Amino acid sequence: MKKGKDLKPHIGIFGRRNNGKSSFINMITGQDVAIVSDHAGTTTDPVKKSVEIFGIGPAIIIDTAGIDDRGALGKLRIEKSMQVIQNIDCAVLLIANNTFGEHELELVHEFRKFELPFVIVHNKSDLEALSKETLKKAALVKPASVVDIHTLDNTHLEEVTKQIRSCIPTTAFIKPSLFEGLIKPKDVVLLITPIDSEAPEGRMILPQVMALRDVLDKHCICVIVRETELEDFLALGIKPALAVTDSQAFGMVSKLIDEDIPLTGFSILFARLRANFEKYLEGTPKISQLKRGDRILMLESCTHHVSCEDIGRHKLPKWLNEYSGTELDYDVVAGLESLPTDIRNYALVIQCGGCVVTKKQLQNRLKPAIDAGIAVSNYGMAIAYMNGIFERATAVFAKAPITAETIQ
C-alpha cells in the first residue's frame, strides 16, 4: 500500500474472503464506499476510505484482501495486506460462520509482532450466531469480548465504534503540540526558514507551516525570517525564548544565535513528536564511527521531485562523506516502500522528520533497524552532530519530554 499524506488515525480491516469486510466498512462509514459481492475475493489491493468516528474524529479505514486468498496472485494480495499492519494504528479482525483457525492466528501473530491493538468482530450473526466454542478460541488470543454483529442495518454500529475507540491508542488522534513544554504564552519564537530550490513555489514547506500554526496556537509571538535576514532581526535587540531553524542552516545560525538562547531544528521537533527520540539520541554518534564501505539508508517519508539541493539525496550524503573523510554507500527509500536489501546490511539509518506520516507508521518504519541493533538518526540530528552542536540542538527537550500523560 502506498502511503498518502494523511495524518489521521489508520484502521485496518482484516479477515477471510467473503467474511463481509466490505459490508462492514459500508456500515461504519454509512456509505456504499466498498464493493459488496457474494463472489469471494472481490477486494484485491488494500483500499483506503475516509470516515468520521464519534469520539475519535476523522480516520482512515483500510479494506484489505482476504487472508485466505489462493494462487500466486492471491499470495501477492495477502503480502500487501500484511504490509498494511506496519502502517496502521488499530486493526479489526473480522470473522464469520464461527471460523477461527490458522489464518486468524497468523494475523494475530503479526498484530502482536508490531504491537498493534486489535478487536475481534464476528459478522453475519443473522445467519449464524457466535458460538461458545468460537468465543473460547478467540479468548485464548484476545481475552476481551468478541462483538457479534450483522451488517444488515446499523443496530450494532454503536457497539463496534465503542470497541474501536477503546482499542485505538489516544496518541493516534490526540495530537501533542510540537512545542509542548517548550514555550509559554507571549513568548517570542523565532523561526528561521531558508528558501532554496527545494522550497515549493509561492509557499512554505509543511514542517514550517505546522510549526507556525503551533506557535500561534500557543498564543506566542512568532517571528519568521530567512537566514539572510537573521542578523538584521537580531540587531533589533529582541531576545527569543526559542529559535528553530531549518537543519541545513545549523552551521551559520548557531554562530549568530547567542548560547543562552535555546536553539533546535524543525526536523528535530518532529523527531521528538513522532519517533523513538531516545534511540535517535543514542544512534546519532555512530556518525563518528563510519568507515569506507559502510552503507547508509536514507528514509524519506514523502515523495517529491529531486533537485541538486535535495537534503536527503545530495546534501546529507555529501556532508557525511566530508565528515567521515571517506566515500560511503547510500540507498534512498521514499514513502513506505520496501527496502532494497536486508536492514542488517546498513551501518546507519537516517530518517527525515516524518511530517507527513503518523507516529505509528514512522515507529514501525524504524523498528526493523532498532530490533537488529542498527543505529538510527534523524536528518536534523545528523546535521547538528556534524556541525558540533548536537547537544545544544537537543538540550531543550531534556526538560520537556513528551509522555503519555502530556497528551491526555
Neighbouring C-beta atoms of residue 224, cutoff 10 Å: 16
Half-sphere CA count of 135, side-chain side, radius 13 A: 9
Strand segments, DSSP code E, in 118-262 are 118-123, 147-148, 188-192, 221-225, 242-245
Give the three-state DSSP class for 193: coil
pLDDT of 203 > 70? The answer is yes
pLDDT digits (tens, 9 = 90+) for 237-289: 999 999 999 998 999 999 999 999 999 999 999 888 877 899 999 999 999 99
What integer best gives the mean pLDDT of the chain?
86
Where residue 184 falls (left for φ over 0; alpha for ψ -120 to 50; beta otherwise) is: beta
**Cα 310 to Cα 331: distance, rounded to the nearest angstrom:** 14
Contact 44, 77 (CB under 8 A): yes
Neighbouring C-beta atoms of residue 55, cutoff 10 Å: 11
**Cα 342 to Cα 369: distance, rounded to the nearest angstrom:** 10
- Identify which has the larger pLDDT, 28 or 306: 28
pLDDT digits (tens, 9 = 90+) for 103-113: 999 999 999 98
Helix (H) or strand (E) holding 378: strand 375-378
pLDDT of 380 > 90? The answer is yes
What would the grid cell of residue 402 be?
513528551
**CATH code for the structural domain at 10-172:** 3.40.50.300
**Cα 358 to Cα 59: distance, rounded to the nearest angstrom:** 12
- Identify which has the larger pLDDT, 407 or 351: 351
Which of 177, 214, 173, 354 lies closest to 280 in space, CA to CA? 354
pLDDT of 389 > 90? The answer is yes
Q: Give the pLDDT score at 246.
A: 93
**Burial of residue 226 (number of CB atoms within 10 Å: 0-12, 13-18, 19+):** middle
- Identify which has the larger pLDDT, 41 or 233: 233
- Identify which has the larger pLDDT, 313 or 38: 313
CATH 3.40.50.11420 intervals, the chain: 188-269
CATH 3.40.50.300 intervals, the chain: 10-172
Contact 7, 59 (CB under 8 A): no
Half-sphere CA count of 350, side-chain side, radius 13 A: 25
Instruction: Tell me the percentage of the chain whose pLDDT exceeds 70.
Output: 87
**Cα 134 to Cα 28: distance, rounded to the nearest angstrom:** 24
Strand segments, DSSP code E, in 214-276 are 221-225, 242-245, 263-265
- What class, spelled out in words, does domain 279-390 have in CATH? alpha beta
Which of 19, 29, 111 lies closest to 68 in space, CA to CA? 19
- Residue 364 pLDDT level (bands cut at 50, 70, 90): confident
Amino acid 24 reads F
What's domain 188-269's architecture?
3-Layer(aba) Sandwich (3.40)
Which of 70, 63, 20, 16 lies closest to 43 in space, CA to CA? 63
Amino acid 335 reads G
Q: pTM of the predicted model, to two decimals?
A: 0.69
Q: Give the pLDDT score at 371.
A: 94
Q: Give the pLDDT score at 6.
A: 60
**Cα 46 to Cα 12: distance, rounded to the nearest angstrom:** 9
CATH 3.40.50.11410 intervals, the chain: 279-390
State the angle between helix axes of 316-324 and 379-386 in degrees (0 to 180), rounded to the nearest 10. Answer: 40
Q: Residues with Cβ < 8 Å from 23, sequence gap 6 or more?
A: 34, 36, 123, 151
- Residue 2 pLDDT level (bands cut at 50, 70, 90): very low
Q: What angle do CA 402, 205, 87 make, to 5 degrees?
A: 55
**Cα 240 to Cα 217: distance, rounded to the nearest angstrom:** 17
